[in-house]
Structure 1
Amino acid sequence: MISTISRRYSLDEYRAIEEKAEGRSEYRDGEIVPMPGGTLKHSRIGRNILTYFSTMMRDTQFEPINSDLRLWIPEYRRGVYPDVMIFDGEPQLNGERLDEVLNPILIVEVLSPSTADYDRLSKFRMYRSIASFSKYLLVEQDEPFVERYSKQDKGWLLSDFSGLELSLALDSVSIDLPMAEIYRGIVFE
């Protein structure tokens, strides 16, 4: 029987490695987990969503941010990179860190076959520990389908959106997000 010993990293070690790394990795309470590369379709969908949010939220108190900024989840000691985050007002930095934020109100994840279960289950559970977090969008890349989770007084409400003719009401940021904008330029097989 072969035993594998994985090294545990301190948060400071992770941050030092991440600052110099060519690719990104998540921090999972001592573990450094490399993030898989995205596909062209994944990148286009993320870009479409960020572009639409940026245009619609110009001159408002809301600020959309791309996946270059790390979200720190203190309760779980996790550092993750959501595809898109939206902040109501100034993003709250994690102490003096300029590369970690704490307070998104909306998070978007574009699903990949290798990460879909993690995004739906473990990541969503961790995101729910963030007091400001109230809307979660899970976006399929191989068909026009989005799951919208909305925080309610007694839990989270799931709404599914299928087809390019629909729009998602995002009351927490006072806009509607058309499915056609999410999937602009995407060809489905």
Structure 2
Amino acid sequence: MISTIKRRYSLDEYRAIEEKAEGRSEYRDGEIVPVPEGTLKHSRISGNILTYFTSVFRDTQFEPINSDLRLWIPEHRRGVYPDVMIFDGEPQLNAERSNEVLNPILIVEVLSPSTADYDRQSKFRMYRSIPSFSEYLLVEQDEPFVERYSKQAEGWLLSDFNSLEVFISLDSVAIALSMAEIYRGVVFE
């Protein structure tokens, strides 16, 4: 029987590796986990959402950011790359690192078959440890379907949307996002 030793990385080692890497990886408390590459649908959907938010929030206190910026979750010692994040005011940097932030109010994840369960369960649980975080969108890429979680006094409220004709009310940023806008240019089979 052959045993394998799983190497654990310090946060500094991870950051050094990530700065030179061609692909992205998440940091999971000592473990480095590659992030799967996206699909054309995934890119269109996340691009549509970011473009819409960028246009709507121009000249406001809200700032949308794409997946190039790492979100650091201190309580869980995790570094992740959400598809889209929105900040109310200036993003708070993690110890003056220009590539890690701490304080999104809204996070969007476009679901992939390989990451959907992780995004819905473990990642959502970790996101909830972020004090500023108050709204979460999970967007399917193979059919028009969005799950919206909003933070309430008594817990998190789930609403789902499955029609291109409806709008999703986003309480954290006081706008409505059209399902048709999310899926603009996406062809379903």
Cα distance in 2, alignment partners of residues 62 and 44 from structure 1 = 22
Structure 1 position 172, deviation (Å):
1.1
1:126 correspondence with 2:130:
no
Structure 1 position 49, deviation (Å):
0.2
1:8 correspondence with 2:2:
no
The aligned residue for residue 71 of structure 1 is: 71
1:31 correspondence with 2:31:
yes
Cα distance in 2, alignment partners of residues 4 and 49 from structure 1 = 42
Cα distance in 2, alignment partners of residues 41 and 183 from structure 1 = 9
Query: How big is each residue's C-alpha offset from its partner over 1:40-83, in whole Å with a ceiling of 9 and x where there is no partner?
Result: 00000000000000001111100000000000000000000000
Query: How big is each residue's C-alpha offset from its partner over 1:104-126, in whole Å with a ceiling of 9 and x where there is no partner?
Result: 00000000000000000000000
Whichever residue aligns with residue 151 of structure 1, its letter is K
Structure 1 unaligned segments of length 5 or more: list them.
none
1:153 correspondence with 2:153:
yes
Whichever residue aligns with residue 128 of structure 1, its letter is R
Q: CA RMSD in A?
A: 0.5
Q: Residue 184 of structure 1: SS of its match in structure 2?
A: coil
Structure 1 position 3, deviation (Å):
1.7
Structure 1 position 96, deviation (Å):
1.7
TM-score normalized by the length of structure 1: 0.99
TM-score normalized by the length of structure 2: 0.99
The aligned residue for residue 175 of structure 1 is: 175
The aligned residue for residue 95 of structure 2 is: 95
Number of residue pairs aligned between Structure 1 and Structure 2: 189
The aligned residue for residue 136 of structure 2 is: 136
Cα distance in 1, alignment partners of residues 142 and 166 from structure 2 = 17
Give 1:50-65 correspondences, 5 Å limit: 50-65=50-65
Whichever residue aligns with residue 71 of structure 2, its letter is L
The aligned residue for residue 48 of structure 2 is: 48
Structure 1 position 174, deviation (Å):
1.4
Cα distance in 1, alignment partners of residues 101 and 150 from structure 2 = 21
Percent identity, aligned pairs only? 85
The aligned residue for residue 112 of structure 1 is: 112
Structure 1 position 2, deviation (Å):
2.9
Cα distance in 2, alignment partners of residues 14 and 166 from structure 1 = 42
Cα distance in 2, alignment partners of residues 35 and 13 from structure 1 = 17
Whichever residue aligns with residue 29 of structure 1, its letter is D
Whichever residue aligns with residue 181 of structure 1, its letter is E
Runs (4+) of structure 1 exceeding 6 A deviation are none
Cα distance in 2, alignment partners of residues 150 and 126 from structure 1 = 15
Cα distance in 1, alignment partners of residues 83 and 4 from structure 2 = 32
Cα distance in 1, alignment partners of residues 23 and 92 from structure 2 = 25
Whichever residue aligns with residue 100 of structure 1, its letter is E
Q: Residue 157 of structure 2: SS of its match in structure 1?
A: strand
